[in-house]
Amino acid sequence: MPVDPNASITITAFDWVPDFAKGQVRDLRVRWALEEVGQDYAVRYLPQGQQKEAAHRTLQPFGQVPTYEEDGQALFESGAIVWHISERFPGLTPKSAAGKGLSLEWLFAALNTIEPPIMDRAQATIFEAKDPWSAPRLPGIDERITERLQEASDRLGTADWFAGSFSAGDLMMVSVLRIIEGEGLVEAFPNLADYVARSAERPAFRQALNDHLAGFTGNPPPGFDAWMAELQSHQGELT
């Protein structure tokens, strides 16, 4: 569905992020969900720093994106927004009670079980790469990620989707697994690698990703180039 400035749904997104964050900012999860259920939406773009100002914190108290607004209701947290969309519109929730329960549990598993060690890895390899504790932590982080991926792989088995048909739970699981795509961790489990690839071929995902990437038309904040140069000088120590 096209991004429509007159749509009844409005989400927030950044107008600029570093290259390593493109395709990963969590507004993509919401865009994908809206595409799956066939809903137009508008986007209010925030320059870096504006998300911490009072006006945005009335919508998102932690000063992050995305947010979701419709008919006077405002939501934050990508998991809550995706689940709300799946409840509000048909297309992301299995029809049976059992299927709905499976979708919900895998949405929570993605955010509460799979994502935390993956974000620990991002913290160590990106934001804390220059700190002396990062390199020693990385093997332990990867071990925890691999354990969780093995468990998820075992449960998925030969199935296409965790809840029988593609659902909000799968959308969130794939969104989380994509964070480490190309690092050799997901690729160690062929059924998970195929699961991510299968999801990325969905027309709704392709449209959401294209619109997500097209929105990065802003400029970096002052001091970014120096920060990035320092970061890159240390990242080689973690490979």
126 and 196 share a domain?
yes
108 and 77 share a domain?
no
> Which pLDDT score is estimated for 231?
61
* Residue 2 domain-assigned (yes or no): no
Give CA–CA dist 203/182, Å, rounded: 22
pTM (two decimals): 0.93
Exposed, middle or buried by CB within 10 Å (0-12, 13-18, 19+), for 108?
A: middle
Other Cβ atoms less than 10 A from the Cβ of 17: the count is 18
87 and 170 share a domain?
no
The pLDDT tens digits for 98-124 are 999 999 999 999 999 999 999 999 989
Is cis: bond before 66, omega within 30 of 0?
Answer: yes
Give CA–CA dist 151/149, Å, rounded: 5
The pLDDT tens digits for 128-160 are 888 888 888 999 999 999 999 999 999 999 999
110 and 148 share a domain?
yes
Give CA–CA dist 197/219, Å, rounded: 31
Q: What is the CATH number of the domain that holds 67?
A: 3.40.30.10
Q: What is the CATH number of the domain that holds 183?
A: 1.20.1050.10
> Which pLDDT score is estimated for 233?
60
The pLDDT tens digits for 2-38 are 799 999 999 999 999 999 999 999 999 999 999 999 9
101 and 191 share a domain?
yes
Give CA–CA dist 220/226, Å, rounded: 11
